[in-house]
């Protein structure tokens, strides 16, 4: 019984992680998210983002 549970959890865990990785890649390359990622990429260069003086 234990071996069956271990095999089941290993195989479905693998499928779960692959599906999660595919979901993250789809989210990252979805065209509607491009503006947010571009804003985040350029936000480090904003003039308001300076060390305190």
What pLDDT is stored for residue 26 in this prediction?
A: 97
- Pairwise CA distance, residues 19 & 6, whole Å: 20
pTM above 0.85, yes or no: no
Tokens of 53: 């003086």
Q: Are 43 and 49 in contact (CB under 8 A)?
A: yes
Mean pLDDT value of segment 32-41: 91
What pLDDT is stored for residue 7 in this prediction?
A: 87
**Three-state SS sequence of the chain:** CHHHHHHHHHHHHHHHHHHHHHHHHHHHHCHHHHHHHHHHHHHCCCCCCCCCC
Q: Which residues contact 37 (CB under 8 A, 6 or more apart)?
A: 28
What pLDDT is stored for residue 53 in this prediction?
A: 62
Tell me the pLDDT tens digit for each residue of 1-29: 999 999 888 889 889 999 999 999 999 99
């Amino acid at each position: 019984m234990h071996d069956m549970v271990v095999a089941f959890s290993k195989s479905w865990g693998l499928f779960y992680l692959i599906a999660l990785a595919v979901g993250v890649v789809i989210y990252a390359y979805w065209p509607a998210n491009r503006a947010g990622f571009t804003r985040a990429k350029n936000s480090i260069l904003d003039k308001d983002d300076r060390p305190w003086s």
